Every structure is written in structure tokens, then in C-alpha cells.
Amino acid sequence: MKHISATSLKTFQTCPMQWMYKYDYELLQAPNPAFQIGSAYHKMVEEFHKGISVENILENTKKDIIKKKTNDEIDMFGLLRLMFVKYAENPIKGNTVKTEFRFNIPLPNLKVGLYGFIDRIVEGDRIVEYKTTSKDYIQEDVNNIQSHIYSYVYFKTYGKIPTVTYSVVNKKKIKQPNYRLQILEIKCTDKDLKTLETDCVNFYNDVQEKKFKANKGKHCFWCPYVNFCNK
């Protein structure tokens, strides 16, 4: 294990065997259109907050996505345009301090640190995270490992616990005429940050001891390694 990321910790807590196949065996995953849409959307929003015009962002994205003029590519760009224009109409305001902030923060008593990227940091101790989804979020969804890790990183960097704001766009609802992006917020507590440290130590130890037991559940339905799992 080289470092701990939000995705890695979340994967292990969901199913240690899935983690093993993904991070230890390093099995391949077929390209996922949902992932492509998420990455492209993040890039568009990042450029928007760097001051690039909406027209230029759309033009650049079009060139990136539509290469062979297939229906899938055209549909994907159409969806991205709708999502981005909707965001640009009503963006998360605030002076941007950093975008795509890369972190690698040491953890107490561990040889590995926390690693990842924060989408955007805004003045006033606020972290903004952009999500593309097919299902509306509820408040419970943002009380997650990612919020805890980002808050921990911000606290270690700036000495304050930030507010984490999620801007959520639902791909299935974006065509509805009056659709508005969801905005959810969370402020983690000191206890959340302490719990995160303990979770990271347990995670690291479990991996060292190769405790990779399969955990059967609804996640199996989307698990890319389900056909290698005896459960």
C-alpha cells in the first residue's frame, strides 16, 4: 500500500475482497462511461472557475469527446453540455483559492499518508466537491469518508475545520425544464477526524494481515470483479 485515498478506504470498507482485486491484484476495469462523464464535467467546472469562457470550455470539450462522431460520443457531449450550462447559470460562488488541490498528508503512527485531490477550495474555509450522479443525494450521503478525509487534510494544512459543500448534478433529471443542481453541506467534528485516524490505522493493519474477506451486499451488483468472487 503506497497511500490511503478516499476511494481506497471506501472500497475496503464496502468489501475487502473488492479492494484486493482492485488495489493488490491491480485487475483491469473496462472503461466506464459514467466515469468519463464525471471526469469531463470536473474538468469543465475547473476551467470555468479559472476564468475560461463557457463557449471556449464547450468547444474544447466537444473536441475532446467527439472524435469518431459516434452516437455515443454525441450523446455524451450533449449530456455534458446540459450539465455544465446548468452549473454555469448558478455556480457555487466565492473566491477560488485553489482548484484540483493535490494533497499527500502524513498520518500518525502509519508509514503511509492520505493522498488525493480536492476539487476546489474557496475563501472562508470552504471546500467544494462536484458530483455527477444518477440518483439524488440525501444529507446522509455527504457524511462520508471523502468529507472526513478532505476536512482532515484542510485542518492539517490550514488549522481549521472547513465546511464541505457538495454540488450534485443528476444526469437523469438534467433534461427536466426546472431542474436545479442540489447543494448539500457538512461540517465535520473533531470526533470525525479522530475516527478517521483510527479507521486508517485499522485499514492499514487489515491490509498488512491480508484480511480480504468478501462482503456480500448490493454493491456486488456493480462490482467489476463479481465473476472472480466465490460469494
Partner 1 sequence: MNNTKQATSNEEQINNDPLYRLRQPIPKEYLITYTEDGKTFTGYKAQYAINLLNKNLGEGGWLTEEEIRKEEYINNGWAVAMKLILMLKMTGTIYVPIIVTGYGGSHAKNIANAYKGAKTSAFKNACRYLGIGQELYLGDTSGEEDIVYEPITEQETSSEQPQKPEKIAQGDDLYNKVMKATNLEQLESLKDVVMAFDGGQNAQETLIKIYNTKKIELKEKK
3-state secondary structure the chain: CCCECHHHHHHHHHCHHHHHHHHHCCCCCCCCHHHHHHHHHHHHHHHHHCCCCHHHHHHHHHHHHCCCCCHHHHHHHHHHHHHHHHHHHCCCCCCEEEEEEEEEEECCCCCCEEEEEEEEEECCCEEEEEEEECCCCCHHHHCCHHHHHHHHHHHHHHCCCCEEEEEEEECCCCCCCCCCCEEEEEECCHHHHHHHHHHHHHHHHHHHCCCCCCCCCHHHHCCCCHHHCCC
Footprint (CB under 8 A) of partner 1, residues 168-227: 217-218, 220-221, 225-227
What mask of x and - would describe binding to partner 1 in positions 132 to 151, judged by CB under 8 A? --------------------
Contact predicate 46/99, CB 8 Å: yes
Q: How near is the Cβ of 218 to partner 1 at its closest, in Å?
A: 5
What mask of x and - would describe binding to partner 1 in positions 1 to 40, judged by CB under 8 A? --------------------x---xxxxxxx---------
Nearer to partner 1, 37 or 200 (CB): 37
Residue 228 interacts with partner 1 (CB under 8 A): yes or no: yes
Nearer to partner 1, 106 or 217 (CB): 217
Q: How near is the Cβ of 170 to partner 1 at its closest, in Å?
A: 17
Q: How near is the Cβ of 138 to partner 1 at its closest, in Å?
A: 15
Footprint (CB under 8 A) of partner 1, residues 59-118: none
Nearer to partner 1, 59 or 72 (CB): 72
Nearer to partner 1, 178 or 221 (CB): 221
Q: Would you tell me which residues interact with partner 1 (CB under 8 A)?
A: 21, 25-31, 217-218, 220-221, 225-228
